[in-house]
Amino acid sequence: MDEHSLGEGVSKRVLLGRTLRFLREKAGKSLGQLAEETSYDKSYLYRLETGERLSKRAVMEDLDRYHGSGDLLVGLWRDARKEVFKDKYKEFMELEDTARVMWMFQLRVPGLLQTEDYARAVLSGLSRAQTTVGNGDEVEEQVAARMGRQELLYRRPEPNVRVILDEGALRRQVPQKKVWVSQLSRLLDAAELPTVALQVLPYAAGVHDLMSSDLILLWQRVGDPVAYVEGNGFGQLIDDPDKVLSFRLSYDLLRDAALTPAESTAFIKRLLED
């Protein structure tokens, strides 16, 4: 058996787990030996191999280096992390991965700009709000998948990203002050990236068309733009040209009403000082 015959008819997560086991056994290592030589817990490695747990990207990078497998595990991990998301979100993620231009209006701090601790706090709160409460492992998988998405900000060619944040996103803190301070600092760091523009839409801008939902507009290198609209418990990918144009016009109005990038950075810095 080789790597190419490991994944016929199985999920991406199971394929990743089987590949991890194949590489370990090919190296003649037991789980205990691998744990000792990589400093990862034996039970954690076992759960990765059985597909019970999804790791962070950094773990796959470490194991790729250990096995000398290039970026094999990282590539399989990229595919496996998409299985964490709901089906309605996967098509959007495929477009997001290749988008050259991304414009967002967000009522909350977007996942692409969240710190790991902030994402964990938000996702833990969401799991408690569901009728079926998610366990800690499920939350950690969501966190790992969300952090993994952020790599697209640094891929080549980098997408041009504009984020308009509602002021409420910057006023609604998580309970841990240290986590919130780190999150605001992360936004300031992101605003310094040459391909990222960050604006704040202040309460003073008044009512507007997008008060009840987030909006993301995506442009590929060729083809027409698409819109993704997401609210409480729903998400919809829209490719109808007239509807996408309508969202584009709504976005333009918000951009005109928002603080400039420099004013927005100053606004966030004042929040940090307070």
pLDDT of 174 higher than 80: yes
Phi, psi of 156, deg, nearest 5: -115, 130
Hey, which of 93-97, 126-130, 171-175, 246-250 has the most confident mean pLDDT?
Answer: 246-250
Q: How far is CA 174 from the centre of its chain?
A: 18
Task: Report strand pairing: 214-219 vs 196-201.
Answer: unpaired
Given this model, what pLDDT does residue 133 score?
44
Tens digits of residue pLDDT in 213-234: 899 999 998 888 999 998 776 7
What is 10-82's CATH topology?
A: 434 Repressor (Amino-terminal Domain) (1.10.260)
Given this model, what pLDDT does residue 84 score?
61
Given this model, what pLDDT does residue 215 score?
96
Radius of gyration of the chain, Cα coordinates, nearest whole angstrom? 21
Q: How far apart are alpha carbons 67 and 44 in whole angstroms?
A: 18
**239 or 83, which is more confident?**
239
Task: Report strand pairing: 160-166 vs 196-201.
Answer: parallel
Tokens of 32: 């205990």
Q: Which residues of 86-110 are buried (b: 16+ CB within 10 A; e: fewer)?
A: eeebeebeebbeebeebbbbbbebb
Tens digits of residue pLDDT in 261-270: 999 999 999 9
What is 85-273's CATH topology?
A: Endonuclease; Chain A (3.30.870)
pLDDT of 62 higher than 60: yes
**131 or 55, which is more confident?**
55
pLDDT of 186 higher than 80: yes
- 192 confidence band (pLDDT: 50, 70, 90): very high
Mean pLDDT, residues 156-161: 90
Mean pLDDT, residues 20-42: 90
Given this model, what pLDDT does residue 1 score?
44
- Single-letter residue type at 75: G
- 126 confidence band (pLDDT: 50, 70, 90): low
| DSSP-derived secondary structure letter, 213 | S
- In the chain, where the domains are located: 10-82, 85-273
**Does this model's pTM top 0.85?**
no
Task: Kindly state the percentage of the chain with pLDDT values over 90.
Answer: 50
Tens digits of residue pLDDT in 74-105: 888 877 876 665 555 777 888 888 899 999 99
Least confident of 71-75, 137-141, 184-188: 137-141
For residue 15, give Cα distances in angstroms to 29, 83, 173, 231: 19, 12, 39, 33
